[in-house]
Each structure stands twice: as structure tokens, then as C-alpha cells.
């Protein structure tokens, strides 16, 4: 049985059947360590390399006060984990979420390390966040929270050591406040400290839909590999944030997917005749959720995962496809726009039943790839067109997909393990060159 991290602050999620194994199965950092161990064994890496890759190189955990609109002060818990910077500055998003824990951030930071390696960009992996419910905060409270977070981490981040970006419940406006706070502290313009900025503040064309666009490109390549036609293919999308909503739009526009189901934290909807992206987007904008969308019937998030569709896109949070429901997942292709949606138990079940998984840190690497382009543009102070960004992103995603596909074929392993083999080998090689191991 896996051992909990020594200073774990994980709040183990409630499990319906209450088994301890189930609880451990759902700790994302233990999952990340298990996935790594499988790759390390096949690559025959030495113990020191494995130990370096099993843990974050540095992690920051802090509390900070925020003045609330009613005059009271609330204290929030914040995190920034620099998992590995052998290949370049730590890179990864900031999440504002009620369930944010140090172990979640560690797992997400580890996955960023493998993500930047699989698309072969000169960056390492990091992640951060604040335990909070952003939906309960006013705009000015959110601004003070964002600035307060940066005041705690300003000494440790920077264009050449650690570069945050948006993640779940953070967005370009939050990046703008954070950039402004960092530049106020540094007393100079340093747009490369953070990515996913508004375009007017040094953001990149094509960054907003980059995660979904990259995922759709890997889906296109997967369909070619499998000899499948995706025009009109039924699709279910779990999660309707940035990745899910743009996954719907670009999936329909670029591949002709027919999205029949979508969900968010409040529930899901299903219409066998297909859901229109623009109409659903407007509905969500107006009502705050996809639920009760006219003409669609209600489904739960759990039911959505088990629908009889060709493509399933988990685009929300970790550990939604587990040992308990994987056998009932019917999709032929699972394009993981979320980070860590599938547990190792589920991976084996899906593999055995012949489902084709495009693993998270490959499928959703488009976001960080365009973040890297954003940094390059910031460094040159020269900005590219959307067409240029799309072309460079496509080249990166197609190359990464085929490096994973080739590895999977050569080693006869499933795609996630193949992606680990590609990435871990790259990070380990650079640690060796540096003389760390």
C-alpha cells in the first residue's frame, strides 16, 4: 500500500463506500508518485534519480490576510510548489478552489513537469493555488486575494525561475492584478513573470483557447492513428470551464464532433440531437450553469461519464474515472482535457477494454505551450498573429502526440505510461547532464 507523504495536508475526499484503499486511490499526489514509479522501473533509472523525481524540489505553504468588503479580515491558505526546474523555470497555473490542498498542488506540479517535457519546451513544472471559494468573493475581494498571494510568493517567482498562469477558477484579469502587484514590488516591467495575461498587457493571441485547441489536435491525430472518422462523432464533455467550453467549440468547428452532453459543478445536460456551442455558452453566461438548458434532459456528472458516446472529454477535476466506474465508461476515445481525471486503477480497466486514452499531460499541453510562446514574445517585446501561434502550436502538439504513440507501440504499453516514458526520460537526462544524479 502506498505511504502518505510525510507532511501531507490532504483532506481526503469523502468516499461513498468508505474503504481506506479507495481513499488512498484518490490522493492525486500518491497517484502521481505511482505513475512515476512505473515509468522509472521500465527506464531502469537509479534510486537517486527516482527520489529526486518523486518529490518537489521546493514548496511554499503560507497563510495571508485579506480585507473583506464588510471590514473583516479573513486568512487564506496559499501554496506554490516548484516541482522540478532541471529543464527550465518552473511553470504552471494557479488554482482558486475550496478543495485545494498541498498534495493536490504537488500532483499538479509533477504533471506540469511531465507536460512541459512531453511538448519539449524549455521549462520545468510548478503549480500553486489558494484554498478558497472564488464564487463567494466579490471582485474587489478577489483582487485583494490575488495581490496578497503575490506578496507572499514574489521572492520566489520570476521570469527566470518560476512563472505562474491561470488554472481552475483563475483567469486573465487575475493574471493582470498579479502582474501589476509583482511589477510594483520589483519596480520594473517584467511581463514574462506570468502568462495567460490579457492581450493588452502582453498576453498572446491564441492563449485563451490553447488548452482545448491542443487537445483537439491530439484527438485528430488519434483518430487518424485509429482509422476513425470523427465527423458527427457523439461527444460528452465533463466540465464546462475554459477547456470544456472551447473543447466544444473547436471540436465542432475543426473536427465536426457532435457534442450531446455537457456538465459543470451543478449538474449535466444531454440532448441526443446535439448541443449548440454558442447557445449553450450564452445560457451558461446568463444563468451561471449549463443545467436546465432548453431542450436537453438532466444527467448527473457520474451518468455523463458512462454515456454511450464515441468521445469523452473529462475537462474538470482530478479522479473522476476510477476503479469504481471505469468498467462502465463506453467511449472509444477519452481525451483528457483535465489534469489527472483518471486513476491508475481506471487506467488498467480502460486499457483492457480497448478504450484509447489521450493522457492529460499530452492532451492538455496546448495551454502551457502557448504560455511558453507568450513568454518568448514578452522577452522579444514583439508580438505574433493568431495564425502564427496556431501554426507553432500545431507543430508542437503533433510532434508530441507521435512521440508518445511511437513509444506506446515500441514498448507495447498504454498511452499514459508511454507519455511518462518520454517525459521522465527527458527530465532525467537533463538532471544527469547537470550532474545532479
Q: Which of 25, 141, 162, 167 binds ligand GLU (CB under 6 A)?
A: 167
Q: Which of 50, 80, 87, 91 binds ligand GLU (CB under 6 A)?
A: 91
Closer to ligand GLU at the Cβ: 206 or 367?
Answer: 367
Closer to ligand GLU at the Cβ: 91 or 152?
Answer: 91
Residue among 127, 197, 258, 396 flagged as catalytic: 127
CA 402 to chain centre: 20
Residue whose CB is nearest to ligand GLU in the complex, by number = 93
Q: Which residues, 330 to 359, sit near ligand GLU by CB under 6 A? A: 339
322 binds ligand GLU (CB under 6 A): no
Closer to ligand GLU at the Cβ: 129 or 268?
Answer: 129
Stretch that binds ligand GLU, among 87-95, 350-358, 383-391, 396-404 (CB under 6 A): 87-95
CA 191, CA 303: separation in Å to the nearest integer? Answer: 43
Instruction: Provide the minimum distance between the beta carbon of 209 and ligand GLU in the complex, in angstroms, as a whole number.
Output: 13
Instruction: Provide the minimum distance between the beta carbon of 373 and ligand GLU in the complex, in angstroms, as a whole number.
Output: 10
Q: Which residues, 354 to 393, sit near ligand GLU by CB under 6 A? A: 364, 367-368, 371
**Cα angle, residue 264 at apex, residues 258 and 268 outer, rounded to 5°:** 60
Closer to ligand GLU at the Cβ: 22 or 364?
Answer: 364
Q: Which residues, 100 to 159, sit near ligand GLU by CB under 6 A? A: 115
Stretch that binds ligand GLU, among 89-97, 229-237, 305-313, 420-428 (CB under 6 A): 89-97
Instruction: Provide the minimum distance between the beta carbon of 409 and ligand GLU in the complex, in angstroms, as a whole number.
Output: 26
CA 131, CA 95: separation in Å to the nearest integer? Answer: 8
Instruction: Provide the minimum distance between the beta carbon of 112 and ligand GLU in the complex, in angstroms, as a whole number.
Output: 6
Stretch that binds ligand GLU, among 88-96, 256-264, 273-281, 287-295 (CB under 6 A): 88-96
Closer to ligand GLU at the Cβ: 203 or 268?
Answer: 203
Tell me, yes or no, if 127 is annotated catalytic. yes
165 binds ligand GLU (CB under 6 A): yes
Closer to ligand GLU at the Cβ: 22 or 377?
Answer: 377
- What does the H/E/C string look like for the chain? CCCCCCCCCCCCCCCCCCCHHHHHHCCHHHHHHHHHHHHHHHHCCCHHHHHHHHCCCEEEEEEEEEECCCCCEEEEEEEEEEEECCCCCEECCEEEECCCCHHHHHHHHHHHHHHHHHCCCCCCEEEEEEECCHHHCCHHHHHHHHHHHHHHHCCCCECCCEECCECCCCCHHHHHHHHHHHHHHHCCCCHHHCCCCCHHHCCCCCCCCHHHHHHHHHHHHHHHHHCCCCCCCEEEEECCCHHHHHHHHHHHHHHCCEEEEEEECCEEEECCCCCCHHHHHHHHHHHCCCCCCCCCEEECHHHHHCCCCCEEEECCCCCCECCCCHHHCCCCEEECCCCCCECHHHHHHHHHCCCEEECHHHHCCHHHHHHHHHHHHHHHCCCCCHHHHHHHHHHHHHHHHHHHHHHHHHHCCCHHHHHHHHHHHHHHHHHHHCCCC
Closer to ligand GLU at the Cβ: 115 or 213?
Answer: 115
CB atoms under 10 Å from CB of 279, counted, come to 12
377: nearest Cα among 207, 171, 161, 165: 207
93 binds ligand GLU (CB under 6 A): yes
Closer to ligand GLU at the Cβ: 33 or 211?
Answer: 211
Instruction: Provide the minimum distance between the beta carbon of 41 and ligand GLU in the complex, in angstroms, as a whole number.
Output: 26
How many residues line the site for ligand GLU (CB under 6 A)?
13
Instruction: Provide the minimum distance between the beta carbon of 98 and ligand GLU in the complex, in angstroms, as a whole number.
Output: 18
Instruction: Provide the minimum distance between the beta carbon of 243 and ligand GLU in the complex, in angstroms, as a whole number.
Output: 9
Q: Which residues, 185 to 214, sit near ligand GLU by CB under 6 A? A: 195-196
- Residue 299 dihedral angles phi and psi, to the nearest 5°: -135, 155
Active site residues: 127
Residues engaged in binding ligand GLU (CB under 6 A): 91-93, 115, 165, 167, 195-196, 339, 364, 367-368, 371
Amino acid at each position: 500500500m502506498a505511504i502518505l507523504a510525510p507532511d501531507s495536508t490532504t483532506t481526503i475526499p469523502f468516499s461513498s463506500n468508505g474503504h481506506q484503499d479507495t481513499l488512498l486511490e484518490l490522493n492525486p499526489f500518491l497517484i502521481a508518485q505511482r505513475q512515476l514509479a512505473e515509468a522509472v522501473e521500465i527506464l531502469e533509472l537509479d534510486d537517486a534519480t527516482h527520489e529526486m523525481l518523486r518529490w518537489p524540489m521546493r514548496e511554499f505553504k503560507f497563510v495571508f490576510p485579506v480585507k473583506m468588503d464588510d471590514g473583516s479580515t479573513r486568512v487564506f491558505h496559499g501554496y506554490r510548489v516548484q516541482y522540478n526546474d532541471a529543464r527550465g523555470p518552473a511553470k504552471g497555473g494557479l488554482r482558486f478552489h475550496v478543495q485545494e490542498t498541498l498534495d493536490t498542488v504537488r500532483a499538479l506540479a509533477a504533471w506540469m513537469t511531465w507536460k512541459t517535457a512531453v511538448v519539449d519546451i524549455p521549462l520545468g513544472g510548478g503549480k500553486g493555488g489558494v484554498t478558497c471559494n472564488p464564487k463567494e468573493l466579490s471582485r474587489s475581494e478577489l483582487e485583494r486575494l490575488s495581490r496578497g498571494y503575490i506578496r507572499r510568493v514574489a521572492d520566489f517567482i520570476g521570469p527566470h525561475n518560476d512563472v505562474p498562469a491561470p488554472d481552475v477558477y483563475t483567469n486573465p484579469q487575475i493574471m493582470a492584478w498579479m502582474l501589476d502587484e509583482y511589477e510594483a514590488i520589483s519596480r520594473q516591467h517584467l511581463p514574462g513573470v506570468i502568462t495567460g495575461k490579457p492581450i493588452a498587457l502582453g498576453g498572446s493571441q491564441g492563449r485563451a483557447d490553447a488548452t482545448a485547441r491542443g487537445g483537439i489536435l491530439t484527438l485528430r491525430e488519434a483518430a487518424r492513428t485509429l482509422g476513425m472518422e470523427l465527423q458527427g462523432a457523439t461527444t460528452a464533455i465533463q466540465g464546462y470551464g475554459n477547456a470544456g467550453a472551447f473543447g466544444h467549440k473547436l471540436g465542432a468547428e475543426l473536427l465536426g464532433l457532435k457534442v450531446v452532453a455537457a456538465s459543470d459543478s451543478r449538474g449535466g445536460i444531454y440532448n441526443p440531437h446535439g448541443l449548440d456551442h454558442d447557445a449553450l455558452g450564452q445560457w451558461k453566461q446568463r444563468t451561471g450553469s449549463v443545467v436546465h438548458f432548453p431542450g436537453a434532459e438532466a444527467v448527473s456528472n457520474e451518468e455523463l461519464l458512462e454515456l454511450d458516446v464515441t468521445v469523452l472529454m473529462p475537462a474538470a477535476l482530478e479522479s473522476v474515472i476510477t476503479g469504481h466506474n471505469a468498467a462502465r465508461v463506453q467511449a472509444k476515445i477519452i481525451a483528457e482535457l483535465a489534469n489527472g481525471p483518471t486513476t491508475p486503477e481506471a487506467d488498467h480497466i480502460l486499457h483492457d477494454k480497448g478504450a484509447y486514452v489521450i493522457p492529460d499531460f499530452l492532451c492538455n499541453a496546448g495551454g502551457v505551450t502557448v504560455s511558453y510562446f507568450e513568454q518568448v514574445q514578452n522577452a522579444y517585446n514583439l508580438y505574433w498573429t493568431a495564425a502564427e501561434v496556431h501554426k507553432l502550436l500545431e507543430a508542437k502538439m503533433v510532434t508530441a502526440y507521435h512521440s508518445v504513440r511511437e513509444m506506446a507501440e515500441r514498448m507495447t504499453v498504454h498511452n499514459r505510461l508511454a507519455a511518462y516514458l518520454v517525459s521522465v526520460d527527458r527530465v532525467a537526462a537533463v538532471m544527469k547532464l547537470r550532474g545532479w544524479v
